[in-house]
Structure 1
Amino acid sequence: VLGGLGGFGGLFQLPSGYTEPVLVSGTDGVGTKLKIAQALNRHNTIGIDLVAMCVNDVLTCGAEPLFFLDYLATGKLQPQQLAEVVAGIVEGCRLSRCALLGGETAEMPGFYPKGEYDVAGFCVGIVEKSKLLNGSQVEVGDVAIALGSQGVHSNGFSLVRKIIETQGFKWEDCPSGLGGQSLGEVLLTPTQIYVKPVLDALRSDLTIHAMAHITGGGLPENLPRCLGQNQSIQIQPHSWEVLPIFRWLAEVGQVNETAMLETFNMGVGFVVLAPPDQAATTIRYFQSQNLPAYAIGQVIEGNGTLVFA
Structure 2
Amino acid sequence: MQKTDTNQVDTVSFEEKVETRSVEVAPEEVLTTEEALEKLKQGDVRQEGYVVQPDDSWWLIARKNEMRTSEVLAGNPGVNEDTILQIGQTINLVKLFPYLTVIAEGIRTETETIPFDVVTIVDSSLANGETKITQTGSDGEKEIKYAYVQKNDKIMTKNILDEQVLTDVVSQVVVKGPQRTPVVIASSRGSGQLALGMIWPLAGRINSYYGYREGEFHTGLDINGYQGDPYVAATSGTVVSAGGMATTETVILIDYGNGILTRYAHSSKLLVAAGQKVSKGQTIGLVGSTGRSTGPQLHFEVIINGDNVNPLNYLR
TM-score surpassing 0.5? Answer: no
Provide TM-score, normalisation by structure 1.
0.26
**Relative contact order: is structure 1 or structure 2 higher (C-alpha 8 Å, sep ≥ 6)?**
1
- Structure of larger gyration radius: 2
What is the TM-score of this pair, normalised by structure 2?
A: 0.25
